[in-house]
Amino acid sequence: MAGGGEIDDIHETATATTAAPLLEKVYWEGCPGCAAEKRKEENPGIPYLQFFRIWIIILVSCLPITFIYPFLYFMIRDLHVAKTVEDIGFYGGFVGASYMLGRALTSTVWGMVADRIGRKPVILFGIFSTVVFNTLFGLSTHYWMAITTRFFVGSLNGLLGPIRAYTIEICRDEHQAIGMSLDSTAWAMGLIIGSVIGGYLAQPAEKYPELFPDNSLFQSLQLCCSYKLHMVPGVSVMVYQTFIYPYIERILGPINTSRVATVSIVTCTYILQNNSVTQDQRGTANGLATTIMSFFKAFAPAGAGIVFSWAQKRQHAFFFPGDQMVFFMLFVVEFIGLVWTFKPFLAMPEQFSSKSSS
C-alpha cells in the first residue's frame, strides 16, 4: 500500500510538472499583440493614461463634425447659394452630409489597412488630414469648395475604427465598458467645445474689430455665431457615460441597457461588435460598422435639410404642419431602432455570452 501511495504521489507530481508549462502564456518578442497582452497581465488596473490619450484622439476626430452646426445656416446664407430663406436648410444639409459620405466610402478600407500595417499609422494620418482639410474648409469662399473640403475631411480621416479596436486591445475584459464609453464622452465634449469654437470664434472682424480690421482675411471667412444648444446634450451624455453607464452595464448587460436608454446604445454596440470577431479582424469590423453608420449620418443631414425646407412651406397643413412633421419622422425612425434591439435582430455572440455567465 505504501508503494502504491508513493507511485500515486510521483504520478501527480509528474502530471503537475508537465501541465504547468501549458498554463503559462508565451509572449513573443516584437509582437505588438503580445506586448499588449503582457501589459494587461502585469497591470490589472484601469489604464487611465492610455484611456486619456484615446479620449483626446477621439475628441480631435469629433470636433470637425460638431463645430460647423452653430454657424452652418449663416454660412450658407452668406455664400448666396440659396435663392430663398426656405432653401437654406436644403443646401446646408448637403454640406453637413458631405463629411459622413466621405467617411462612409472609406472607413472599411481604413479598417483593413489598420489590420495590415497597424493602428498607429492610420491614426496619425487621420489626424494630419483633419488638420489640413479642416483648415481649407474654414477658408472656403464658394459652396462647392466647402462641400469638397468637408468630403476630404471625412474620407481621409479613418481613425475611428482603428481607435475603437485599439481600445479593446489595451484593456481587460472587466474594463471594456469604461473603454468603449470613451467614444461617447469624447463626442459629448466635442459637442460642447465644438459649439463654443464655432460660435465665439466666428466672424472675428465684426465681433473683435480692434484685433481684426476691415478688409482683412478674417472678414472674408463666412462664419457667424449662433446658438449653443449642442452643449446641453453634450454635458448630459458626458456625465451619463462617465459616471452612470459602467455600473448599469454590469447589472443589466449591454443588450438590456441599450433597450433602456438610447444614449447607451452606441457604447453597447461597440462592445458587441468588438467581441464578435477575432483580434486580427477588429479593425475591419469597426471600419465596416463606421462605414454603415457614416452612410446613414451622411443621408440624415441631406434628408433632414430637404424635409426641413419642405416643412417650412407647409406651415398651415392639416396633418402635422410645419416642424411637427420633422419630429414625427424622427419618432418613427427611433421606434424602428427600438424594435431592432430585440431578437432576432440583436443577439449577444456566444463568446461574449460565455464571459457574462462565468
Dihedral of CA atoms 49, 50, 51, 57 in degrees, nearest 10, equals 110
Phi/psi zone of residue 80: left (φ > 0), alpha (ψ -120 to 50 degrees), beta? left
* Residues with Cβ within 8 Å of residue 32, at least 6 apart in sequence: 118
CA atoms within 13 A of residue 307's CA, in its CB half-sphere = 16
Q: Is residue 113 part of a domain?
A: yes
Query: How confident is the model at residue 262, as a pLDDT?
Result: 53
Please state, in angstroms and rounded to a whole number, the distance separating the CA atoms of residues 186 and 196.
15
Q: pTM for the full model?
A: 0.59
Mean pLDDT value across residues 11-20: 48
Please, what is the Cα angle at 25 between 21 and 26, to 5 degrees? 95
Q: Is residue 169 part of a domain?
A: yes
217 pLDDT higher than 60: no
Q: Is residue 71 part of a domain?
A: yes
Q: Is residue 74 part of a domain?
A: yes
Q: Is residue 5 part of a domain?
A: no
Total domains present in the chain: 1
Structural domain of 312: 45-357
Q: Look up residue 176 and give its three cell numbers.
A: 471594456
Q: Is residue 168 part of a domain?
A: yes
Residue pLDDT, tens place only, 282-306: 777 777 777 777 777 777 777 777 7
Residue pLDDT, tens place only, 65-115: 777 777 777 788 888 888 887 788 788 888 888 888 888 888 888 888 988
When pLDDT is cut at 50, 70 and 90, the band that residue 333 belongs to is: confident
Comparison of pLDDT for 319 and 354, the residue scoring more:
319
301 and 90 Cβ atoms separated by less than 8 Å: no
- Tell me the CATH number at 323: 1.20.1250.20
223 pLDDT higher than 50: no
Mean pLDDT of the chain: 73
Query: How confident is the model at residue 182, as a pLDDT?
Result: 79
When pLDDT is cut at 50, 70 and 90, the band that residue 246 belongs to is: confident
Please tell me which of 66-70, 147-151, 315-319 the model is most confident about, judged by mean pLDDT. 147-151
269 pLDDT higher than 60: yes
280 pLDDT higher than 50: yes
Query: How confident is the model at residue 353, as a pLDDT?
Result: 54
CA atoms within 13 A of residue 98's CA, in its CB half-sphere = 20
Query: How confident is the model at residue 1, as a pLDDT?
Result: 46
Least-confidence region, from 148-162, 169-183, 338-352: 338-352
Q: Is residue 176 part of a domain?
A: yes
Q: Is residue 7 part of a domain?
A: no
Least-confidence region, from 58-67, 154-163, 297-306: 297-306
